[in-house]
Amino acid sequence: MREKSKNVAFLGVCTALALILAYVEILIQPLIPSIPGIKMGLPNVIIVFLLYRRSAASAIGVSFLRILLVSLLFGNMMALAYSLAGAALSLLFMIVLRRLNLLSPVGVSIAGGVMHNVGQIMMAVLLLKTVELSYYLVVLTVTGTIAGILVGLCGSLLVRKIPEKLF
């Protein structure tokens, strides 16, 4: 029972950290030259960390709880739909790549960043019935790759620096 309580507490802290990173991202977004649909993906640092230190289930749980809370606190139902679509596709690819163990956390994160954008564009095409939106994937692939590199480097640093015995 004690291990289960420790696990719940640890995942609660991870969810809180992901929420804080999402809020920081919202605060700094106006300072960055904006291209529609582009975010840094800071909360995904926690997701990459969980994929490499815990489990896919932990990463999925924290990711979806964070998305729900961020949408309720700072967004709307449309933001929730886009975020869920992006996260579902992103997590699917990251989990598969992690299990295959062919890429580093940075490579897995890049794939996650790009697939998140693909998921969001797929949802936009579905909801808006405008297939032309898919052309925007060229821009989002570049920015998703850059964000994936940064998130992956931060996630890798956490994996290396935080001892497993800590939790």
Per residue in 17-49, pLDDT tens? 999 999 999 888 777 766 776 788 999 999 999
Which structural domain range is residue 70 located in? 2-166
Among 146, 154, 145, which Cα is nearest to 42's? 154
Query: How far from the centroid of its chain's Cα atoms is residue 69's Cα?
Result: 14
**Residues ≥6 apart with Cβ < 8 Å to 36:** none
Among 117, 119, 95, which Cα is nearest to 40's? 117
Task: With cut-offs at 50, 70 and 90, classify the pLDDT of residue 167.
Answer: low
pLDDT tens digits for range 85-107 = 999 999 999 999 999 999 999 99
**Residues ≥6 apart with Cβ < 8 Å to 68:** 80
Q: Looking at the whole model, is its pTM more than 0.85? A: yes
CATH code where residue 27 lies? 1.10.1760.20
Looking at residue 5, its pLDDT comes to 87
Domain count, the chain: 1
Looking at residue 53, its pLDDT comes to 92
